[in-house]
Structure 1
Amino acid sequence: MEFNLGSFLYAIVAFAILYFLLQRYAFGPLFSVMEKRREQVLGEMKNAEESRKQAEQYLAEQKQAIDEARKEALEIVEQARKTSVKQAEEIMARANEQSARMKEEALVEIESEKKRAVAELRSQVSAMSVMIASKIIEKQVDEKSQKELIDKYLKEVGNNL
């Protein structure tokens, strides 16, 4: 292989022209497209990072909201428990009051019935006494007959009670 200066220069000139044409018409648009692609990738990476940060922020907000909801639910349950205990105590107090009132009413009624029964018994005893006395006066019997008659009427009074 021999070195040919003319071919060498021709090749260098052809290469320089080709390089100039490629630089002007191919490399510029190609590098421009590549630069746009690089910027697009960087933009998407930046957007992805922002989206990740937003997602983390939303996740933190959701956790906080869930914690608050749990606290609120616990407060509601506790308040409902307190309310139910209070209502149960009120119901028990009303039931005790009503029971005491009914007991008092029953005692008053028993006392009045007792008084009525005693009064009725006294009325019957006095009626019997009057009847016995009138029969004794009617018969004018001797002491033995009178005693038998009284015993007889007392037995009748005892059976009627």
Structure 2
Amino acid sequence: MFTVLAAESSNDLIKVVPGLMIWTLIAFGITFFVLRKYAFGPIQKTIDARRDRIREAVEEADNARDEARELLAQNRAILAEARSESAAILAEARKVADDQIQRAKDEAEVERQRRLEETRKQIDAETARAIDQIRGEVADLTLEATQRVVGKVLDSDDQRRLIGEAIEGLDFSALERGRS
């Protein structure tokens, strides 16, 4: 008897009731229209706007990285030029010293020592200037990249702290070895 009741009640669920079907379709249509008009459009606009912001941020980061690479290449070229100039100065000093030795050995030795000392000072000064210039450009680039990524202007204390951290993180030991 229980199976007969269960079979009859399940038939009620399967029965097609045209009035109920029509009201269900109308309710579904109204719900779909309301969601489409007031929910789907704004949600899609928000998603598209966020996608555009993310794409722009990635492009800005790529541009900043490219600019950093260009600045690093320029700094390396300046450093190579300074080294070649120092090598030319050293070669000139040695030639002058050899000419002086032929004329008067004592005067040539004094002159050679003076020129070598000047050359070393010039090399040290140029190297120090190049390192200071690199540090300044790294600091400027760090500020610009931070402002682009964070999206706000930092106060002077934050800028000094970020610049200090960025410069401490750089390896200037190769340049320092070149000075000595």
Give 1 or 2 for the bigger CA radius of gyration.
1
TM-score by length of 1: 0.49
Which of the pair has the greater relative contact order for Cα pairs under 8 Å at 6+ separation?
2
Q: TM-score, with normalisation over the residues of structure 2?
A: 0.45
